Amino acid sequence: MPIRMKVYHQGKETLVAAADADLIGKTFREGKFKIEVGRFYEGDVVSGERFVAELRLATIGNFVGRETIEAAKDAGFVSDDGILWISGVPHAQFVLMM
């Protein structure tokens, strides 16, 4: 399953937003949590390798979906205890603190 990824630059920060491609345009709710997988994630279709290469340059990451989070986890950016599940869909973030 492809990953959709968008890279944002703001000052010294680089944010990588990525989601499993099949989740784009969907909204998930569970209790007080809600995630909209919309335009924020709607970037290029990339391989897991390209996604991880961009993560290595990022200061912030925001991820949705099993494939995307598995790639981030395998590269050491996400751990199991940092994953929030919303209606069966995993969501995770990371911030690099200097």
Pairing, β 26-30 against β 33-37: antiparallel
List the structure tokens of 93.
């973030």
Give the mean model confidence (pLDDT) for residues 34-60.
Answer: 95
Here the CATH number for the domain that contains residue 62 is 3.30.1860.10
pLDDT band for position 92 (cuts 50, 70, 90): very high
In this structure, how many other beta carbons lie within 10 angstroms of the beta carbon of residue 98? 4
pLDDT of residue 97: 81
Give the mean model confidence (pLDDT) for residues 54-72.
Answer: 96
| CB distance 93 to 60 below 8 Å | yes
Give the mean model confidence (pLDDT) for residues 69-93.
Answer: 96
Pairing, β 60-64 against β 33-37: unpaired
Query: Domain count of the chain?
Result: 1
pLDDT of residue 46: 96
Q: What is the mean pLDDT of the chain?
A: 95
Show the domain range for 81. 3-95
Q: What does the DSSP 8-state code read for residue 1?
A: -
Which helix (DSSP H) or strand (DSSP E) does residue 68 occupy?
Answer: helix 66-74
